[in-house]
Chains A and B, each alone.
Chain A
């Protein structure tokens, strides 16, 4: 049981089984949120960067420039759609779609909240608010983020432009390199949580800090028992660097480095096709920040297990953690210059990958040390495979 549930739904409402509807609610909610928040994100990014660089930012269209993104969207919508002469037309058209769809689909397994239901016999149970609470949730997100590179690579190749091709090549090399560090950082958390199901990973953080008994109850599932501290901060650092590199954002935005590659893979794209690349980038930022929130920052858990915090619904905590991730993105972009290409590769392969491997061993040892020497019986999940063929005949 997570928190003190304020709203308790009945399990059956006019004969409808409410827990079965939860995935559809989550589907509509996530899609509406991601598609609706992107203009807001662009506005936030421009305002925050303007603040960090000590200038005004958007302030002409609407009150405090709030309608600037809307105006930009309308402008993009009415721009002429230019099709360069010698592009590979089908791949050129499908590349923005491939860039956008995996980013949207990745959010499907994030547990936004734990909804409490009251069964017919009166006991309470909770269901996570996700589209699919699958047992390979983490691998699903990693698989989709590895498919996302196709959008960039194909856009770069099909544009038939040297700069675009260079951007696409850089993107593919960069994503393959940083996927490894990202996987290792997430593996450290999996070792501690013992599951790939994201709701289980969140529930594994709902305990006393470091699992030491005798601490006050308001620390259960609090800020100090989340995995950023339990995995001793290094995996969180590795993941944050890798997630910035995975989404091609500054200081890792070499695939679209405008000062050397014009705009890289989307040089030849105009109008709404360019806008789709833009949307895809922001949607994938939201997805990887959501994974960051669920894996390292407790997902929908409140920062302290006492009353005013636990009254707030979990999805508000989740969204605010995602927004902190977005702020980290903007902060990094305003702070660091773009890396040189060989420095990027050296950072990925020679610094982060060995550190991740060493830390995986450290986490394994820590996990072994904290497990009681006579562990409880393992869950009877799977028996040894019986010979099915003999019964087939």
Chain B
């Protein structure tokens, strides 16, 4: 228990610092790299929560595929120079700052209100995070998740077809 606590605090510091740096850094490539670090921290969080499959998928999909594409676009458009994306203090940044502070205040406030007063009862370990657990819960007939899953896949198919149509000159 103590070791997981230590791990949690290391991860908490790294992930919060890297996500702040992601927003603050001027250089787009470094910004993307800080986002990768944040994703990796989240993946380790999933492992500590016994959700191994989601952790692996987090690394493969987000850190491995999507962020590589981000970097690809940044490099291809030659946005790598630090001055390429400089923004002055426009109305948009001010509003964004204000909303961000309101959001953080709401988050801290709500978590302060809902602090637990009694220790949680020791939960029964359920291997829900493994591939088997997710598969059985997602696809078994007595669960309602199969239909939303298929709908999501159709959504992805539509997105793929749309991308191809937009990329091709003559369909």
Contact = CB atoms under 8 A, between A and B. Distances in A.
Nearest to A142: B60
Contacts of A179: 64-65
Interface in B44-58: 52-53, 55-57
Contacts, number: 98
A150 interface: yes
Interface in A97-150: 134-136, 139-140, 142-143, 146-147, 149-150
A219 to B, nearest CB: 30
Interface in B62-102: 63-65, 68-69, 71-72, 75-76, 80
Nearest to B57: A139
Interface in A174-191: 175-176, 179
B72 A172 contact: yes
A392 B60 CA distance: 34
Nearest to A156: B75
Given A143-B64, A146-B64, A150-B36, A392 B56 contact: no
Nearest to B142: A384
Contacts of A149: 64, 68
A147 B64 contact: yes
Given A169-B72, A384-B142, A143 B60 contact: yes
A19 to B, nearest CB: 21
Interface centre among B53, B55, B60, B137 (most CB of A within 10 A): B60
B59 A146 contact: yes
A207 to B, nearest CB: 21
User: Main secondary structure on chain A at its contact with chain B?
Assistant: helix
Contact of B127 (A88, A140, A142, A382): A382
Given A157-B29, A173-B72, A384-B143, A139 B132 contact: no
> Contact size class for A?
35 or more
| Count class of interface residues, chain B | 35 or more
Contact of B53 (A136, A165, A168): A136
Contact of B60 (A146, A156, A384, A385): A146
A388 B68 contact: no
Contacts of B36: 150
Nearest to B63: A147
A88 B74 CA distance: 15
Contacts of B72: 153, 169, 172-173
Interface in A358-393: 379, 381-385, 388, 391-392
Contacts of A136: 52-53, 55-56, 130-131
Interface of A: 88, 91, 134-136, 139-140, 142-143, 146-147, 149-150, 153-154, 156-157, 165, 168-169, 172-173, 175-176, 179, 196, 379, 381-385, 388, 391-392
Interface of B: 27, 29-30, 33, 36, 52-53, 55-57, 59-60, 63-65, 68-69, 71-72, 75-76, 80, 120-121, 123, 126-128, 130-133, 136-137, 140, 142-143
29 contacts: A91-B30, A91-B33, A134-B52, A135-B132, A136-B55, A139-B53, A142-B60, A143-B59, A146-B63, A147-B64, A149-B64, A150-B71, A154-B33, A154-B71, A157-B71, A157-B80, A168-B75, A169-B76, A172-B69, A172-B72, A176-B65, A179-B64, A179-B65, A381-B127, A381-B130, A382-B130, A382-B132, A384-B142, A385-B128
